[in-house]
A and B are shown apart, each in its own frame.
Chain A
Amino acid sequence: MAGVSVAAEWQLLYNRYYRKSEIYQMQWKNVDLARNKIACAPFGGPIAVIRDDAKIVQLYAESALRKLRIFTASGVLISETIWKNPGGRLIGMSWTDDLILVCITQDGSVYFYNIHAELVNTFSLGKECNENSVVECLFSGNGVVCINEAFEIFSLPDLKMPKTVKLPDCNLEGLPNCMAVIDPQCTKSGDIELLMGVGDHVLSVEEDGIQQLAPGIGPLQKMVVSRRGEYVACFTHDGRLLVLSVDFSNVIIEYTCESSLPPDQLAWCGLDSILLCWDDMLLMVGPFGDPVRYIYDDPIILIPENDGVRILSDKTMEFLHRVPDSTVSIFQIGSTSPAALLYDALDHFDRKSAKADENLRLIRSSLPEAVEACIDAAGYEYDKYLQRTLLRAASYGQTFASHVQRDSIREMCKILRILNGVRSVEIGIPLSIQQYKLLTPTVLINRLVYARKHLLAFRISEFLSMNQETVLMNWTCTKISESSAVPDSTLLEILLEKLKTCKGISYAAVAAHADKSGRRKLAAMLVQHEPHGSKQIPLLLSIGEEDNALTKAVEIGDTDLVYLVLFHILQKRAPLDFFVTIQARTLARDLFITYARSFKREFLKDFFLSAGQLHEVAFLLWAESWKHAKNPIKGHRIIVIKKAHELFKNTKEHMFESKAAEEHAELLKIQHELEATTKQAVFVDSSISDTIRTCIVLGNHQAANKVKTTFKVSEKRWYWLKVFALATIRDWTALENFSKEKRPPISYRPFVEACTDAGEKSEALKYIPKLADPRERAEAYARIGMEKEAAEAASQAKDGEGELLGRLKMTLSQSASATSIFDTLRSSFPGVSSQF
């Protein structure tokens, strides 16, 4: 059968099959794992290699200076740099989740490298680690725990933040036999937890306390915690492998090894088995049954993944993992599962054998499961030929089955296409399907971008219809950084061609990067393409393009942005320069004036002066004159107004204002005098008309006349004012005398109105007959309710349309009639008005 060769390479551990398949022949040359310190990132991540300075090694034809080299998981060199950092021996080296290489040296310095071997950050673990050298460090995810020579323990829960926490003192007298760290995500307290094999027990150390566990378990030689922090595997001094729950209360597996020599490495392979690695032997122990043995000639490094372990040697990268159930059901020797028969049927079909049909008949009822199993199994294969055959089997079966999820095959093809893409030797990310799902496509794309595999990242995000913005953005920024020799306009064209394919990309962000890379001109060109004005403007400001920013802000019309630019320019430029800048832009100028009017008046005056708008300065001065009202030197207020008067005189258009200011000053002078002579503070700040009225009311006719002549008050106005003032003090005799002084310039209307308004019917009657216009007369009569006289007067008026009569009637009757309607309404609902 076809599957025999596949299953032949499996090993049985109790009732489960494991397989170890080679993923890569390592591309590197002359890398000897034994001579080097190695850090491998999970999820098929990169490998960091540096000569181990803790070992005495012979130098070949190489420099004495050490080199930090970073390879892909397939052994392709990504980058290298010479290790020149001081701080003594390199104690620990590990990758964080976002693929930053963390190196800790003896003196407690922490160095961060990106995969391009560029130092991106560095900080110190603190004074204690500096004084007493770090001797041991243990990484867990994004955290680390260190021990120094004084056996003080420090933890750094998050490597991104340089905040060292000193763990409680455990009174250690020597380095513990073994240690393990539990990731903060898996502990109850949410802090990092350290397990140490000390003497014959285990200490659990956390920020807020120490706990002794498993007394009498005996000295432990090696310890490793499972992925999710549920179990711990230990190797005892007497050669036993123990698997316990993490609180050491429950022994789950106990296996006695042939040797009590502790293994070099101990690792979980998924959750089902433990790997022990000695010099030349790899031992896999499961819960039951005999362990599986692999023999190696070269040293190896175990790289635990969530679904298995990768094994790195000088020559190869292998993946050891449990054979998934679907694969077993197809390829197990002698399997008669529907999936196996379907796979077989395809083989017959390919060979044009009629047996294909026979097989299909046999499994007709369970065809959907068989198809699913083939699809599933395809996902686990690294071998493209097998992937294809399994998918073809699934597709072959699908044509005969009616109830199959039709999308499954397509989905799986998509995933495999991506996986095969990233697994290729050049890219070197050997993700399994389970790792891929756990890592998520987004993170994978980010990693590719990070590794500057932009095209693949772009294609994958396109393929998955994800937003390509991040990829494109990163490409652009990288391109800018790398193209320092390319002229701005050429580079701009290259960039725009790519950027325009992606809608909604932030040109402002690209421009900001260009600016940071020292290409201000390019930044200015790029920012023109940004559709978001609000993003464009701060950037234009930061690259010193204030005028552009101002023009743009005015164009957009968002006053907030205009103010932002205004204040920026105001700070940067000399006042005169600033004035020139805003003078040409109406909106900017108007906004500045609005703001300055309340908060920067002196500055505003400077502006108006510089712009030659003297009348505006005059208005400001005039307004200020009121603030001088309480000034003891009363003359000062008048001086300010006179200054305004002079300024107004400079422009022909403001002669009116100039005259008004002059009059105002004069008025104030007279009012001050009046207040002084009458000892009544009622004049200042009243109008000319009011001043006249007040004078008359106070009986000071002479003063009233003086105001009248000073300000050339017209006879018309004078009559109204005097009549009203006399009516106010109800001096009807004086009123009558005034009416007889001479013929009033606007007939006797003021007299009639004043008397009518005051309710003095008889007084009004003195003047009504004197009204020349019969219309006016009629209306006046009507107002005091004399219907007959009104009608008579109206008949004398030439009122062709009878409009006047109608209106009179309304005046006479409306109030009365309307009221009567409402009164009848009210009386019909007793109590209505008071209730509601």
Chain B
Amino acid sequence: MSQIPNLENAPINLAAIRARARSELEIILKNIRGDKCLVMDPKLGGSLSFLIHSSDLKEHGAELRYLTPEPIQTERTKVIYLVRAQLDFMKFISSHIHSDTSKGIQREYHLYFVPRRLVVCEKILVEEKVHSLLNIGEFPLYMIPLDEDVLSFELDLAQKEYLVDGDTTCLWHIAKAIHSLEFSFGIIPNIMTKGKAAARVADMLGCLQAEEPANTSDVNVPEINTLILLDREVDMVTPMCSQMTYEGLLDEFIGINNGALEVDASVMGVQQEGKKTRVPLNSSDKLYKEIRDLNFEVVIQVLRQKATSMKQDYTDITNTTQVSELKDFVRKLHSLPEMTRHINLAQHLSTLTSKPSFHGKLDMEQTLVEAESYEICFDYVEELIHKQEPLEDVLRLLVLLSITNSGLPKKNFDYLRREFLHSYGFEHISTLYNLEKAGLFKKQDSKSNWLTIKRAFQLVVENRDTSNPKDISYVFSGYAPLSVRLIQQAMRSGWRPIEEILKLLPGPHSETKRRGMSYEKQPGYTSSSEILDGGRRPLVFVVFIGGVTFAEISALRFLSSQEGMAYELLVGTTRIVNGRSLIETFVDKLG
């Protein structure tokens, strides 16, 4: 199975977006004739695996390398750097060229910025005196479909950059990406936002539209009906909790990178010492599509049922002589590799989830979210620090504690910070400073309103039937993600009825109808909730600025599949996150 997902069932033509990106890349490679060395930054290399097989890249005569500070080892005389426009990469490239020059190696250097060239990057190249040696171009890759219902802008550091550094480059990137979608699929008539970054993106989108109006003459009815922009900052509680869906747990425990897992070969039942196996995970795997969004407990049951029925078939077949039955059986056998794959993975997961420490952590998350016993939570976190538990795990709970209480009382705040620095080293002063600037771990400055929010949105649901869920709370085994509750509300009745509660959450909110679009004049266009051609429901594009977890995507899929749901959903995000990966972006050691 390939890491490049099948996009046939996508609600809009995502395949075309991917095909365009792919052909732009191929044109770049074709235009530089002959053998060449393609140097990509590692993150981009990962993103491209959603686009093109590395074997296809090699077919264009490209030798593949990842960008590191070390000089590139290659015989090729043409070097193409394909990198995101990031400051530190410019230093690397400059040092490569300096190293070549000092060794007397002459090469032809090409630099393609993804997604566009930036003045600040070129400034560095000029200062390093290599700008004139480079042929500079752009590879305008603003987004990549990760699956048939998920688009990623591939901005790993988005949240840290705008919350801590105040750098809004990523917001511009998002606006630009949405604007380019509007060129293909029509101007999105309704926009709802919540959070500072969301408001900013909506403004930028307005600017872009004014500057360069998307030509909508060949699009009758816009294919995307509503855009919901949600700033991750609004709900930092959800990603800090442990996801309980199959896909979410795989990500929490093993880590899904660029649509694939990497596990010890032994986990997959292959006896090879120390070898790692890559397991691609996307909806092209039918069984995975069926079970990815389920609560892990249920996954085990489903797998058991399937295996039992297969075992039954297996017994039956030994007694049969009918060719047609044999054929049937063989057809069923095709799903065997998928079955085996997920049985192996599920088993591996269950050994990890059954550890008492994990249960302790889940209990504590529940207690933190309920926010009714501050002392217990405080003691628990304190103890984790004393025990020097893994840094990211501790910070996750620390952030949860801080957010649900609108920060910690000064005394507690300083105490935990001190214990933290004593346990993990003074270099983490900047990690703490980052978290403080981002408002994730701070001094208490007002009374917490988390309890009001929790009640208003019914975030904690007592009745949890994971096998036959009635509510999205199953994805966190009892906690309904705030982000998805907001979206649920937005789709049901807009912001109006909950304005008072919304004000308790960070950042402004808005709801706009965009006017002056050509299609409004067409007589055929009446109301937004009307079913479109081909029986498709109107599409809502939910964009998470700062990342989304697999569990939240699962919850959204669950919503979309509910009876009487008027909308289809497409998720856009800066990246897929979990608590650990999100915290990691804020971790910054001095020195």
Contact = CB atoms under 8 A, between A and B. Distances in A.
Indicate, yes or no, whether A interacts with B.
Answer: yes
Interface of A: 531-534, 556-560, 563-564, 567, 586-587, 589-591, 593-595, 598-599, 619, 622-623, 625-627, 629, 656-657, 659-661, 663-664, 667, 685-690, 711, 713-714, 716-717, 720-721, 724, 746, 779, 782-783, 807, 810-811, 814-815, 818-819, 821-822, 825-826, 828-829, 832-836
Interface string B397-431: 00000000000000000100111011111110110
Given A533-B211, A717-B419, A832-B336, A587 B166 contact: yes
Interface in B364-401: 382-383, 386-388
Contacts of B336: 829, 832, 836
Contacts of B423: 687-689, 717
A689 B388 contact: yes
A446 to B, nearest CB: 26
B340 interface: yes
B91 to A, nearest CB: 8
A594 B165 contact: yes
B168 interface: yes
A690 B421 CA distance: 11
Central interface residue in A559, A591, A661, by most chain B CB within 10 Å: A559
Contacts of A534: 211
Interface string B474-492: 0000000000000000000
Interface residues of B, number: 69
Contacts of A689: 386, 388, 422-424
Nearest to B420: A687
Contacts of A663: 421, 426
A591 B167 contact: yes
A836 B334 CA distance: 12
B386 A720 contact: yes
Central interface residue in A586, A664, A689, A819, by most chain B CB within 10 Å: A689
Given A559-B172, A818-B354, 15 more contacts: A532-B212, A557-B171, A563-B119, A591-B120, A625-B591, A656-B417, A657-B429, A687-B422, A687-B424, A714-B419, A782-B356, A807-B359, A815-B354, A819-B351, A821-B304
A783 B360 CA distance: 13
A686 B167 CA distance: 33
Interface stretch (B147-155, B200-208, B529-537, B566-574): B200-208
B176 to A, nearest CB: 9
Contacts of B304: 821, 825
A716 B311 CA distance: 55
A646 to B, nearest CB: 16
B364 to A, nearest CB: 14
Contacts of B449: none
Nearest to A668: B426
Contacts of B343: 822, 825-826
A531 B169 contact: no
Contacts of B314: 828-829
B426 A660 contact: yes
Contacts of A836: 269, 336-337, 340-341
Contacts of A622: 429, 590
Contacts of B359: 807, 810-811
A686 B427 CA distance: 10
Contact of B87 (A587, A598, A810, A815): A598
Main secondary structure of the interface of B (DSSP, over half): helix
Contacts of A832: 269, 336, 340
A818 B347 contact: yes
Contacts, number: 183
Nearest to B421: A660
Main secondary structure of the interface of A (DSSP, over half): helix
A595 B120 contact: yes
B92 interface: no
A601 to B, nearest CB: 13
B429 A591 contact: no
A814 B211 contact: no
B269 A833 contact: yes
B166 A815 contact: no
B344 A833 contact: yes
13 contacts: A532-B211, A557-B168, A558-B204, A560-B169, A619-B430, A622-B429, A656-B414, A690-B425, A721-B386, A810-B354, A818-B351, A825-B303, A836-B340
Contacts of A595: 87, 120
A589 B167 CA distance: 10
Interface of B: 87-88, 91, 116, 118-120, 123-124, 127, 165-169, 171-172, 175, 200, 203-204, 207, 210-212, 269-271, 300, 303-304, 307, 310-311, 314, 336-337, 340-341, 343-344, 346-347, 350-351, 354, 356, 359, 382-383, 386-388, 414, 417-419, 421-427, 429-430, 433, 590-591
Nearest to B307: A825
Given A531-B210, A591-B167, A711-B422, A717 B337 contact: no
Contacts of A532: 211-212
The 5 closest A-B CB pairs, nearest first, are A626-B591, A590-B166, A833-B269, A687-B425, A814-B354
B311 A590 contact: no
A587 B171 CA distance: 13
A533 B119 CA distance: 16
A726 to B, nearest CB: 14
A586 to B, nearest CB: 6
A333 to B, nearest CB: 55
A686 B422 contact: no
A586 B166 CA distance: 8
Contacts of B311: 828-829
Contact of A559 (B169, B271, B350, B417): B169
B174 to A, nearest CB: 11
Contact of B167 (A594, A659, A782): A594
Contact of B422 (A531, A688, A819, A825): A688
B179 to A, nearest CB: 12
A13 B424 CA distance: 106
Contacts of A815: 350-351, 354
A717 B383 CA distance: 8
Contacts of A835: 340
B168 A587 contact: yes
Contacts of B203: 557
B350 A557 contact: no
B161 to A, nearest CB: 8
Contacts of A819: 347, 351
Contacts of A587: 166, 168
Contacts of B417: 656, 660
Contact of B269 (A557, A626, A687, A834): A834
B165 A590 contact: yes
A664 B426 contact: yes
Contacts of B424: 687, 689
Nearest to A779: B356
Nearest to B429: A660
B391 to A, nearest CB: 11
Nearest to B338: A836
B551 to A, nearest CB: 21
Nearest to A830: B314
